[in-house]
Chains A and B, each alone.
Chain A
Amino acid sequence: MIRWRYFLLIVLAMIAGLLFGAHDSIHQMWRAGFTGLIQTIRPISLPDYHLDKALGRTRALFTTSDHVGMPQLNVFLSEHLQRTLTSKLPENAKKWQKGYMVYPDGELRRIKLRHRGDNPVNWMGEKKSWRFKTRKKRLIDRTRTFNLIAPQAPDLITNHLAYWIGGRAGVLGPKSRLVEFILNGEYQGIFTEVEHLDESFLRKRNIMPVNIYKGEQYNSERIIYVNNYLFDNPYLWKKLSLFNSWPKSDRSDLSSFLQLLRNAETDNAAFDALTKMARFEDWARFSAYSTLVQSWHNSSVHNQRIISDPWRGIIQPVLHDTVANYLSLENRVVVDGSSHALTDLYSRDPVFLLQKYRFLYDFLKAGILNSAVGYIEAQIPGMLSAYHRDSLPFELLHLNGIPNQIRNAGQLKALWSKLIANIRKTRVFLKAEMEKPPDVTWSQNSGTVGLVIGGTSAAASIRLVLAGGAPIPTKLAWDKNGDGSLSSDELSLPFTIKGRHLTLDATFLANRVLRCLNCVNANISGGLIVTVPTQFNLVADIPLKLDSLHAVNSLTGRETTFPLSKRVGITPGLRNRPVTKLAVKTTQVWSGKISIQKTRVVDSPVIIKAGTIIEIAPSKSLIFRRKVLIEGTPEAPIKVRRRNPDLPWGLIALQGRRADGSRISHLDARGGSGGMVNGIFYTGMLSIHDAADIRIQTLRLADNTKYDDLLHIIYGDNIVINGCKLENALSDAIDVDISQVSIRRCRITNSGNDAIDFMSSKATIEDSYLANSKDKGISVGEASAVLVFNSVLAGNQIGLEAKDGSRALVANVAFQGNTKQINAYKKNWRYAKGGAIQVDKSLFSGAENQIIADKHSRISLSDSGAALPLQIQGKNISTDSATMTVKGNNAGVKTYQPEISKRLAAEGLSGYPEQRGPVQ
């Protein structure tokens, strides 16, 4: 008896020992999945999980392949620090640890790394998702932070594929690639590497450092006890990048957007304002992209990333973790989906839908899905090889509670075949849906025509063939109130007549209704968009009698004849209407004395006649959203003055691409400031935001207060200033951000900061005189490229400064008495280099001719002269023999340095190669 007990005890102890071996898994599961709020850990079978791992390891032993199919990422992290990361889950998982990475150049360098992801599956198993951060000095392609995402789908590629397709569709999103991840020499398998969304992401895409909002109210990031709909509350969003003119806690931009979104449900003016902020062009593109990848994973609580750019006053979507959803299609391709309040609203507007379908059709015609198939096929050998070497390819899938159905390479290949087949099926279905003739029927009733439009396609250019002998109408409208007669408030439809054929210049779409999907669970929060046959009654000034009716598909232009039918449709929705061409706005002509008492946003073209005097009330502003022609003359300039001499007015701005082609001639403005108008931030008394092809002739600006700049140009393209006199700027006289600008014949004096400040811009300064600035005459920063030619920089604190990956080419310039004549250095860690300045045929005069370059920068002086010896500080400053030996104003060499010569030629300038300094 006793022996039996001992024996049993030993057996049980052995079993207990084995089972306690599993305690780690159980404990891990408890810590990761049950100690945190709102974790979606599913009850997985641990024996299956361990068996799967064991089988995977065994398979990897026998099927090892040496073929490396994709880029490899080698990272090293000590065993101790790896244990630290997983020692107290989940807290420690997000704590940065020091490690090393092999850089693309083959060098081993220090990095920091930690795990990532709000779902515990990202770090509770052996295969984990990671976030890497390089040192500031050692960025990779100007990016500091990367995510390495372990695959959660059995095909290993769909997460990356969504980014890949997004890139081809022109959707704003991070760079992504598939990599093989190797940790401490141990193969980890295929991962998706994704650039992190932060300020660097913006700068790399020529977007100013503005707010990037992260909307994540899901898994562990959900705030409990409160309504977690992201589009209901601005304070549920976090900032990933900051617009540094506002406090970090500020949410005014998001508040305005969400308030507009709510009001736009019932108010047309709010809807119009919303479309200026959340532009159709951005959201329709994103919506078309969602259809293309069949994923609405960026939802009202999850995976929302948006950029709020106060310089443009816009809110743009950013692709994040969308995940191409082809594998779960199950014979149902969706054209119209929506996953949050904004797309719910926009999907009921026909103009938005038309733009979305245009994008979608263009994507399909451009063969993006075909290319995606080609791309997957190209990746298959690499992925297959990686699968062979990876002992745990589907661990995250298992941890997500999804049974692993891929047991061998054959099954994996079959899955890829299915993925490819489904992508092709999606392409065929969507293309057919876009090219399908519109679903139209029509009926006649007491002199009116009832059009019923169903299906996805829009019916455009509807051709009514009038019955023989029937009179021809002169006016035709949409009988919105259904009373069978023309009313003054009903939308008149433009048409053309050819014989008995009357063609409507309008496009019709069926209603989109959000059908409640989860009503069984009493949840009225989301749904699927369905198209519903919709009835538009047409009424004319005489009874209509038709022989036949034809319409074209708005995308293909193909015409179809439609039958007379008794089918009825439902009433067009609140936002649904025939889409007609926008009426050309009447040009306003301003002359004499104009008084601006309230801030005025002018949304029609304007001509301002010579001699006009504009008086603006304190803090009030004038915003031109369309083309403006300011037609001052030397004799009769246009003057902008304070209405109250003691208080500054706000600003004058040319805002947006509809103001392209504006002209400003002989404008004299003084005493303004800046401000905030409709969510757009203006720091210039005269501001040019997001506009192109602007010509400015003879501009006088002076005496601004409160806000920085006299003239601020941002996101401008081809802006030419020919003649200007700018005085007494509070800060910078001209501030140029992410623009392409040409400045000629300008005299800028007494600026509180810089005379001209460039950031990420391309510019030419010519025949100008920049003097007595409290800081720089010309500041060239953050990857700008500037040519300074035939100009004088005098009495500034610093004559010319270049920094942070910028390049300044200087020819025939006189540096006169600037405290520091030239300075080049590295200021911002986001740029690998400092400034580069090449000076040719220039003159230096002053008590101290300081020329300074730090170790990241370089300056070269050629054929230039100095009254007193140059004080050179820095190893990277070179001077040629002509500079050292030839004296006087005549050039030592009769040609420019090659780069300067090339740039002058590109600008159409012949230059003055025979002399040093400017010819004024």
Chain B
Amino acid sequence: MINNFNKSESGKILKQITFYILNAIKNFIFVLIFIAVIFVTVLYFDSGIRKFAFRSLSELPSISIHFLIRPAIISANFKSAAIWLQRELDIIRWIRSEKSSLLPGLIKNTGAVMRRAAKPKDLVILKPFLTQLAKAAPDMYLTRVWLARALADTDPKAALKELSEAVKLSGTDPESYRLAISIAIRHGLRTELQSWCNHYQTNQFGGIRPYETNNQFMATGIRRMALEVRTQNKEIVFYGHKGLSLNALKTYAFGFDRQLKISRLFLKLGLSPGVILKIDGLSLFNQGREVHIPSSDMVILSKNGFHVRDTLLVAGEDGDALEFVLRGRTFPLADSAAIRMSAVRAGLTASNMCHSVKTREQ
């Protein structure tokens, strides 16, 4: 009796459990389909959300890895960091073999790790990943520089080769030269040292451009500048120049599109850090007549550079802005301006290691 009761009761309970389970599964499928329907519907109908969702999806691996990698960076656990970075790279390659939109996230995470990596053994651990990264993104300046750092001690020639490729992409960023010169000095590569020193002092090709934002010149390098004129009637106008030359004293002319009553005058510089400027003077013209203002008659203020004696060292990652303030006078009416100045690159070593390049007068 008891057994029968138990059997029928347990069968009932089993039925009930089965019913609840099936019901739960059904509800779950229902909810799942409902979510999927909502999701697909929204993606299909709303292009804005679709774009946002896809963009977010592109960022997801890098954000996730960033959180996972943070403890490893803090504790300098480069083995763990290398594993996570490698996983991120694998995901990226699984989605797309080249030029993936997920790469900038990986570059950001790798940058965080590379900033922390200081000891040779750290770089040894990261080398396999950095090699693969450079292979996956050969035209990214940073991947070449990082790989060169990792190779610097073990294979200096290979490291210099990576840096040669890096300076093709950006010939003005000091980072690659700094590393190359250090490698050449430490490994006694005299010919290479001189070649890199000369290259650093003269190469004006290319530059850096931020990925996530646009700066004023859309890039920094050693070429572009602009005169910003703020007029007495609160107008702001810009006149660009694309001809800054290293190692030469030159006159840089800026033609205005009308006569301007200047209230404040700025020279915006789209220059890489480490460029030294020596400004001889400013000339303002009106209907052909020149008013020359020697540098002794004005104060030059820099936004983020440093004045060393009578020169200015550009220090900002994003160029600089100089303001010309006249001593005890106002700017005359002007329809064009010219600035006479020279530009050289500050040395990366003591001068006895890299011979300096002479400045020509033109």
Interface residues of A (CB under 8 A from B): 5, 8-9, 12-13, 15-16, 19-20, 22-23, 25-26, 29-30, 33-37, 39, 43-47, 90-91, 220, 223-229, 232-236, 255, 258-259, 262-267, 341, 344-345, 348, 450, 479-483, 511, 513-516, 519, 521-525, 527, 530, 532, 535, 537, 568-574
Given contacts A39-B101, A224-B104, contact A232 B221 (CB under 8 A): yes
Chain A residues whose CB sits within 8 angstroms of the CB of B281 once the complex forms: none
Q: Report yes or no: A226 in contact with B362, Cβ–Cβ below 8 A.
A: no
Given contacts A16-B40, A225-B209, A228-B209, contact A570 B336 (CB under 8 A): yes
Docked Cα-Cα span, A490 to B266, in Å, equals 31
Docked Cα-Cα span, A29 to B50, in Å, equals 10
Our pick among A5, A223, A525, A530 for the contact of B30 (Cβ within 8 Å) is A5
Closest B residue to A33 by CB, please name it: B54
Name which of B79-87, B150-158, B243-251 contacts chain A.
B243-251
Q: Report yes or no: B214 in contact with A523, Cβ–Cβ below 8 A.
A: yes
Chain A residues whose CB sits within 8 angstroms of the CB of B362 once the complex forms: 266-267
16 A-B pairs besides A29-B54, A235-B206, A516-B238 with CB distance below 8 A are A12-B34, A22-B40, A91-B97, A224-B140, A225-B140, A227-B206, A232-B221, A255-B205, A521-B214, A523-B217, A524-B217, A524-B268, A525-B218, A525-B240, A532-B257, A537-B287
Chain B residues whose CB sits within 8 angstroms of the CB of A513 once the complex forms: 239, 255-257
Chain A residues whose CB sits within 8 angstroms of the CB of B141 once the complex forms: 225-226
Q: Report yes or no: B243 in contact with A262, Cβ–Cβ below 8 A.
A: yes
Name which of B168-176, B180-188, B189-197 contacts chain A.
B168-176
Q: Report yes or no: A23 in contact with B240, Cβ–Cβ below 8 A.
A: no
Chain B residues whose CB sits within 8 angstroms of the CB of A568 once the complex forms: 259, 287
Q: Is B223 an interface residue (CB 8 A)?
A: yes
The total of Cβ contacts below 8 Å across the A-B interface reads 241
Closest B residue to A37 by CB, please name it: B99
Chain A residues whose CB sits within 8 angstroms of the CB of B96 once the complex forms: 35-36, 90-91
Our pick among B30, B216, B220 for the contact of A227 (Cβ within 8 Å) is B220
Distance in Å from the Cβ of A92 to the closest Cβ of chain B?
A: 10
Docked Cα-Cα span, A259 to B48, in Å, equals 45
Q: Is B100 an interface residue (CB 8 A)?
A: yes
Chain B residues whose CB sits within 8 angstroms of the CB of A259 once the complex forms: 204
Chain B contact patch, size range: 35 or more
Chain B residues whose CB sits within 8 angstroms of the CB of A224 once the complex forms: 104, 140, 209, 211
Chain B residues whose CB sits within 8 angstroms of the CB of A570 once the complex forms: 255-259, 287, 335-336
Given contacts A232-B206, A521-B214, contact A263 B169 (CB under 8 A): no
Distance in Å from the Cβ of A381 to the closest Cβ of chain B?
A: 37
Distance in Å from the Cβ of B30 to the closest Cβ of chain A?
A: 6
Given contacts A263-B243, A535-B288, A571-B336, contact A258 B205 (CB under 8 A): yes
Closest B residue to A34 by CB, please name it: B54
Shortest 9 CB-CB distances between A and B: which pairs?
A265-B243, A482-B288, A227-B219, A570-B335, A43-B47, A227-B207, A233-B206, A235-B168, A482-B289
Chain A residues whose CB sits within 8 angstroms of the CB of B236 once the complex forms: 519
Distance in Å from the Cβ of B221 to the closest Cβ of chain A?
A: 5
Docked Cα-Cα span, A26 to B208, in Å, equals 35
Q: Is B25 an interface residue (CB 8 A)?
A: no
Distance in Å from the Cβ of B55 to the closest Cβ of chain A?
A: 7
Provide 21 A-B residue pairs closer than 8 Å at the C-beta atoms, listed in order of the A residue: A16-B40, A19-B40, A34-B58, A43-B48, A45-B47, A91-B98, A224-B211, A225-B107, A225-B140, A227-B170, A233-B206, A259-B204, A262-B223, A262-B244, A266-B362, A483-B289, A513-B239, A519-B238, A524-B224, A524-B270, A570-B257
Chain A residues whose CB sits within 8 angstroms of the CB of B132 once the complex forms: none
Chain A residues whose CB sits within 8 angstroms of the CB of B104 once the complex forms: 37, 224
Scan B284-306; emit 1 where CB is below 8 A from any A CB, else 0.
Answer: 01111110000000000000000
Given contacts A22-B44, A36-B96, contact A262 B245 (CB under 8 A): yes
Distance in Å from the Cβ of B341 to the closest Cβ of chain A?
A: 11
Our pick among B58, B215, B245 for the contact of A266 (Cβ within 8 Å) is B245
Given contacts A482-B289, A570-B259, contact A16 B245 (CB under 8 A): no
Q: Is B33 an interface residue (CB 8 A)?
A: yes
Q: Report yes or no: B207 in contact with A226, Cβ–Cβ below 8 A.
A: yes
Closest B residue to A530 by CB, please name it: B257
Q: Is B112 an interface residue (CB 8 A)?
A: no
Q: Is B15 an interface residue (CB 8 A)?
A: no
Q: Is B163 an interface residue (CB 8 A)?
A: no
Our pick among B40, B140, B226, B238 for the contact of A23 (Cβ within 8 Å) is B40
Closest A residue to B362 by CB, please name it: A267
Closest B residue to A525 by CB, please name it: B218
Docked Cα-Cα span, A479 to B51, in Å, equals 61
Docked Cα-Cα span, A262 to B241, in Å, equals 10
Chain A residues whose CB sits within 8 angstroms of the CB of B335 once the complex forms: 570-571
Q: Report yes or no: B206 in contact with A236, Cβ–Cβ below 8 A.
A: yes
Given contacts A16-B36, A482-B290, A513-B256, contact A37 B103 (CB under 8 A): yes
Distance in Å from the Cβ of A26 to the closest Cβ of chain B?
A: 5
Q: Is B37 an interface residue (CB 8 A)?
A: yes
Closest B residue to A50 by CB, please name it: B44
Q: Is B242 an interface residue (CB 8 A)?
A: yes
Q: Is B139 an interface residue (CB 8 A)?
A: yes
Our pick among B54, B102, B169, B226 for the contact of A524 (Cβ within 8 Å) is B226
Q: Report yes or no: B205 in contact with A235, Cβ–Cβ below 8 A.
A: yes
Q: Report yes or no: B287 in contact with A482, Cβ–Cβ below 8 A.
A: yes
Q: Report yes or no: A34 in contact with B101, Cβ–Cβ below 8 A.
A: yes
Q: Is B43 an interface residue (CB 8 A)?
A: yes
Chain A residues whose CB sits within 8 angstroms of the CB of B26 once the complex forms: 5, 9
Within 8 A of A (CB), among B118-139: 139
Q: Is B68 an interface residue (CB 8 A)?
A: no
Distance in Å from the Cβ of A481 to the closest Cβ of chain B?
A: 7
Q: Is B13 an interface residue (CB 8 A)?
A: no
Q: Report yes or no: A516 in contact with B40, Cβ–Cβ below 8 A.
A: no
Chain A residues whose CB sits within 8 angstroms of the CB of B357 once the complex forms: none
Distance in Å from the Cβ of A129 to the closest Cβ of chain B?
A: 19
Q: Report yes or no: A19 in contact with B140, Cβ–Cβ below 8 A.
A: no
Q: Report yes or no: A30 in contact with B54, Cβ–Cβ below 8 A.
A: yes
Our pick among B37, B48, B243, B285 for the contact of A571 (Cβ within 8 Å) is B285
Chain A residues whose CB sits within 8 angstroms of the CB of B214 once the complex forms: 521-523
Docked Cα-Cα span, A266 to B243, in Å, equals 7
Q: Report yes or no: A267 in contact with B208, Cβ–Cβ below 8 A.
A: no
Q: Is B277 an interface residue (CB 8 A)?
A: no
Our pick among A34, A37, A233 for the contact of B57 (Cβ within 8 Å) is A34
Docked Cα-Cα span, A537 to B286, in Å, equals 12
Q: Report yes or no: B140 in contact with A16, Cβ–Cβ below 8 A.
A: no
Docked Cα-Cα span, A236 to B204, in Å, equals 14
Given contacts A9-B33, A34-B58, A511-B255, contact A226 B206 (CB under 8 A): yes
Q: Report yes or no: B142 in contact with A225, Cβ–Cβ below 8 A.
A: yes
Chain A residues whose CB sits within 8 angstroms of the CB of B215 once the complex forms: 522
Docked Cα-Cα span, A26 to B237, in Å, equals 45
Chain B residues whose CB sits within 8 angstroms of the CB of A9 once the complex forms: 26, 30, 33
Our pick among A22, A34, A44, A232 for the contact of B55 (Cβ within 8 Å) is A34
Chain A residues whose CB sits within 8 angstroms of the CB of B243 once the complex forms: 262-266
Distance in Å from the Cβ of A443 to the closest Cβ of chain B?
A: 11
Q: Report yes or no: B290 in contact with A267, Cβ–Cβ below 8 A.
A: no
Q: Is B4 an interface residue (CB 8 A)?
A: no
Docked Cα-Cα span, A263 to B139, in Å, equals 28
Chain B residues whose CB sits within 8 angstroms of the CB of A23 once the complex forms: 40
Closest A residue to B251 by CB, please name it: A266
Q: Report yes or no: A574 in contact with B253, Cβ–Cβ below 8 A.
A: yes
Given contacts A12-B34, A537-B288, contact A516 B170 (CB under 8 A): no
Distance in Å from the Cβ of B107 to the closest Cβ of chain A?
A: 8
Chain B residues whose CB sits within 8 angstroms of the CB of A232 once the complex forms: 205-207, 219, 221, 223
Q: Report yes or no: A35 in contact with B58, Cβ–Cβ below 8 A.
A: yes
Q: Is B95 an interface residue (CB 8 A)?
A: yes
Docked Cα-Cα span, A35 to B100, in Å, equals 6
Q: Report yes or no: A234 in contact with B47, Cβ–Cβ below 8 A.
A: no
Q: Report yes or no: B37 in contact with A225, Cβ–Cβ below 8 A.
A: no
Closest A residue to B48 by CB, please name it: A43
Q: Report yes or no: B258 in contact with A37, Cβ–Cβ below 8 A.
A: no
Docked Cα-Cα span, A269 to B219, in Å, equals 28
Chain A residues whose CB sits within 8 angstroms of the CB of B99 once the complex forms: 36-37, 220
